[in-house]
Amino acid sequence: MSAWSPLLYVKFEDERTRPAADLLAHIPLATARRVVDMGCGPGNSTELLAARFPEAAVMGIDSSPEMLAAAARRLPKLAFEQADLATWVPAEPVDLLYANAVFQWVPDHLAVLVRLMAALAPGGVLAVQMPDNLGEPSHRAMRDAAEAGPWAETIRAAGIGRERLPPVEAYYDALKPHAARVDLWLTHYQHPLAGVPAIVEWLKSTGLRPYLAPLTEAEKPAFLADYARRLEADYRPRVDGTVLLRFPRLFIVAVRA
């Protein structure tokens, strides 16, 4: 897959940071000594963690060198490390393992979350937020565009790695044996954006990446134009000309027993 783009990602930083802040607001810790931002991206969520826990050693980890470089420029006093969350474990117990919009990309992430619970200090918290939007028009249109154009075989051969999230009950059943408390909730954000082109720009840095990665530079504009055309039926302009991007997200806060 192509490299993650910090510049594309932060085009919608306010919207992307809002669920990160909402997750942080539900973490039942007054203090913490060690905090890890898993999938830190360009450091927007890491910055929130450092402000909430100023006495803690806060570290960000990510698989993308580009994102880590952007995070280090933003927060030069913090530590950042390249790692694959599918296999990563902290070297010592952590008070807070925090993840904003990353585990939807990790294969078999439910088993990974269970493993990470064991890496928490007693009373430590695993806090996770993931998009649950594969059933939304924004993502149905991706699949329809992929199957309809001359690029269909190319995309099909490359495979699309992200799968639908398991049922909410599966997270509870997996985490509760290791936790004193498990809170789960779904929030449906309605992001006002400047038309269909803004939806395309938003998703170019996330959900569209697996579809665009196998295409040639000549094919990408045609694919994006086809995708944008399909969005127009479901994202109609509101009274002020904006469109509302409905964005469901799953939140999990588990406190280790």
Q: Are 145 and 223 in contact (CB under 8 A)?
A: yes
- Please provide the average confidence, as pLDDT, over all residues in the chain: 93
The verdict on pTM exceeding 0.85 is yes
Instruction: CATH number for 6-256: choose from 2.40.30.10, 2.40.440.10, 3.40.50.150, 3.60.40.10.
Output: 3.40.50.150
Give the Cβ contact number of residue 104 at 10 Å: 23
pLDDT in tens, 57-90: 999 999 999 999 999 999 999 999 999 999 999 9
pLDDT in tens, 120-149: 999 999 999 999 999 999 999 999 999 999
Identify the pLDDT of residue 9: 45
Q: Is the pLDDT of residue 13 over 80?
A: no
Mean pLDDT of 86-106: 96
Identify the pLDDT of residue 15: 81
First CA to last CA across the chain, in angstroms? 38
- DSSP output for 222-233: HHHHHHHHHHTT
Q: Is the pLDDT of residue 8 over 60?
A: no
pLDDT in tens, 202-248: 999 889 999 999 999 999 999 999 999 999 999 999 999 999 999 99
